Amino acid sequence: MHPYSLEMRQIAAAAEERDRPAVVTPLAAIADAVRGSLRADPEEASARRLRLLDTVDCRLTRLGWRLEAEPGDDGTERWRLVSGSGRVRAAADLPSPAPKLVDDLPDGPLYRSLVPVVGIRALTPGPWITLAEHRATLRDAEGKVRCRLLAQTAVVDGGGDRCSAVRVGRLKGYRADAERVSERISRHYGWSPASPDPLTTLAENLHPGPEGAAYPSVTDPSEPAGPALRPVLQALLDTVEHRAEGVIADIDCEELHDLRVAVRRSRSILTLLRADPPDPALERAGAFFAWLGQVTGPARDLDVHILDWRAHRRRVPEHAADLEPLGRYMKAERDKAYVRLVRILQSKRFRDGVKRWRATLDATNAPWAASERALQPIGKLAGRRIRKLYRRAVEEGSSITDASPDEALHALRKTMKKLRYVFEIVRDAYPRKPVRAILKRLKELQQDLGDVQDTAVQADALRRFGEAMARDGTAGPATLMAVGALAEDLELRRADARTRFATVFAPVAKPRFADRLRRLTRSRTGGG
């Protein structure tokens, strides 16, 4: 298609001004404009109804893609993934209602195109849209097609957005014709610079995407910690509130995960600001976030179990059928946990905690912001904390041997998490390149420690689930054997992760890494 497009309203309005009938279809207007040189053959107009799907954080729209769902004749839905250029990347016919999670899509080009982008996020449909299309072919005297025109109008149901565009399709070897047609239309009816097709415009309007960075960072290391961290804490509190709404609406498991990350990051900052004597407002907030972290844990654990069950089902398809009862059991447990969690997130305790903390953060002359620590430059304060946590991590990690219990690795994992959170609070105050290199190593180590801990917890949980299912009679021998096999698989992965530990810990413990971290956090930009 030609990159230029015309706004239909402009064409119609211009046509009206030229004493033409009040209702002018864009193609009629265009055919009129090109009369004399090429013959316009209008094709029958068509209209279709569809919905656009995206994740709540608009992963597809942010990539310039759109996912269309159109009802089929036989109770199916036709899904088409379209890239920014208008190319259909993949399509599939799915039973209606289609699954919310990409993981539940059948394997194929659509699944493979979506999974790296959407991941574990749910796809939610937007409102119904009617897309009307008029096409015309412009032919020369020999009857040869010289260019094609497509006029589209997309209207959102219930008096929502309305977008239109006319596109001039260029054909290889006949580009001059398309240019001439575009130029003529422009001369007769006014010109509008290139605009994307109406569905892309609507997708952007319907799914504008989250504003700002997911995890804010301070940029000026010399700024006092209090004022520097206030907007970070406010943004994290916003995340807690928004994600709580997402959990209540049961969008997908990432809502709870993001909420918990915001909680941990907030706690990390509160520790950084902890004053002597303690500030009552910060202590209260610390207690509130500790409670929130604790009460959201069981639901998150079940989410993780279900994610792992899904991954295993893909990895070992021959277990899929036998593991279905386990999936049903875990989903029922998860639903119960979510009912409890939603009650908590709608409770007075939660609402009051958020309200009080927001009031504390919004108060301009709060005592916490005037403490000795809050007045220190953030670069200096965070740098000191980073170095302290790093020393602790190296100490804890160096004492780990093959014979160490998993708890030792768990303790190191917690220290590493704290280190990474503080580091990320000030990451934008440091040069980008060394930050990336350091974060890469920290993430590798954290991933491994996470694998050790998560696989152990999951294997343990699976055994409990298996016992419970056997007691309830909800699982037959095949399921219990598959659960056992899954638990064994987790044990093997845990053993692998333990073996890997030494390899991923070594680069972090190296004097070169320590030097780099020290130099960075003591540098003029980073503060000392």
Smallest distance from other proteins to CB 199, Å: 20
- Judged by CB under 8 A, which stretch of 119-127, 169-177, 361-369, 454-462 contacts other proteins? 169-177
Our CB check for other proteins shows the closer of 39 and 264 to be: 39
**Residue 528: helix, strand or coil by DSSP?**
coil
Smallest distance from other proteins to CB 309, Å: 38
- Judged by CB under 8 A, which stretch of 1-9, 171-179, 277-285, 447-455 contacts other proteins? 171-179
Our CB check for other proteins shows the closer of 113 and 266 to be: 113
Our CB check for other proteins shows the closer of 85 and 365 to be: 85
Please state, in angstroms and rounded to a whole number, the distance separating the CA atoms of residues 298 and 296.
6
Our CB check for other proteins shows the closer of 174 and 215 to be: 174
Our CB check for other proteins shows the closer of 172 and 433 to be: 172
Smallest distance from other proteins to CB 172, Å: 4
Our CB check for other proteins shows the closer of 74 and 142 to be: 142
Do the beta carbons of residue 189 and residue 15 sit within 8 Å? yes
Q: By CB under 8 A, tell whether 176 contacts other proteins.
A: no
Smallest distance from other proteins to CB 149, Å: 15
Tell me how far the alpha carbon of residue 363 is from its chain's centroid.
32
Q: How far apart are the first and last CA of the chain?
A: 57
Smallest distance from other proteins to CB 176, Å: 12
Applying CB under 8 A, among 20, 64, 70, 174 the residue interacting with other proteins is 174
Our CB check for other proteins shows the closer of 128 and 174 to be: 174
Interface size with other proteins, residues (CB under 8 A): 8
DSSP 150-219: EEEEEEETTT--EEEEEEEEE-TT-HHHHHHHHHHHHHHH--------HHHHHHHHH-----S-SS----
Closest by CA to 253, choosing from 349, 375, 140, 337, is 337
Please state, in angstroms and rounded to a whole number, the distance separating the CA atoms of residues 31 and 188.
11
Q: By CB under 8 A, tell whether 171 contacts other proteins.
A: yes
Our CB check for other proteins shows the closer of 87 and 471 to be: 87
Binding pattern for the stretch 135-164 against other proteins, x by CB under 8 A and - elsewhere? -------xxxx-------------------
Tell me how far the alpha carbon of residue 192 is from its chain's centroid.
34
Which three-class secondary structure string do you get for 136-163?
EEEECCCCCEEEEEEEEEEEECCCCCEE
- Judged by CB under 8 A, which stretch of 64-72, 105-113, 170-178, 222-230 contacts other proteins? 170-178
- Give the list of residues 6+ apart from residue 438 with CB closer than 8 angstroms, or none: 423, 513, 516, 517, 520
Smallest distance from other proteins to CB 174, Å: 7
Residue with tokens 């422009």: 186
Our CB check for other proteins shows the closer of 173 and 511 to be: 173
DSSP 453-481: HHHHHHHHHHHHHHHHHHHHT---HHHHH
Q: By CB under 8 A, tell whether 173 contacts other proteins.
A: yes
Q: By CB under 8 A, tell whether 1 contacts other proteins.
A: no
- Give the list of residues 6+ apart from residue 206 with CB closer than 8 angstroms, or none: 52, 54, 126, 127, 156, 161
φ, ψ (nearest 5 deg) of residue 100: -80, -30
Our CB check for other proteins shows the closer of 172 and 524 to be: 172
Please state, in angstroms and rounded to a whole number, the distance separating the CA atoms of residues 441 and 505.
9
Smallest distance from other proteins to CB 139, Å: 8
Closest by CA to 295, choosing from 249, 346, 329, is 346
Q: By CB under 8 A, tell whether 277 contacts other proteins.
A: no
Our CB check for other proteins shows the closer of 44 and 142 to be: 142
Smallest distance from other proteins to CB 170, Å: 9
Smallest distance from other proteins to CB 145, Å: 4
- Give the list of residues 6+ apart from residue 86 with CB closer than 8 angstroms, or none: 1, 197
How many CA atoms are closer than 13 Å to the CA of 339, on its beta-carbon side?
5
Smallest distance from other proteins to CB 144, Å: 4
Our CB check for other proteins shows the closer of 140 and 335 to be: 140
Smallest distance from other proteins to CB 143, Å: 6
Q: By CB under 8 A, tell whether 432 contacts other proteins.
A: no
φ, ψ (nearest 5 deg) of residue 403: -90, -10
Our CB check for other proteins shows the closer of 148 and 265 to be: 148
Q: By CB under 8 A, tell whether 172 contacts other proteins.
A: yes
Q: Which of residues 38-67 bind other proteins (CB under 8 A)?
A: none
φ, ψ (nearest 5 deg) of residue 135: -120, 150
**437-473: burial string, b at 16+ Cβ within 10 Å, e else:** ebeebbebbbebbbbbbbbbbbbebbeebbeebeeee
Give me the residues that bind other proteins (CB under 8 A), please: 142-145, 171-174
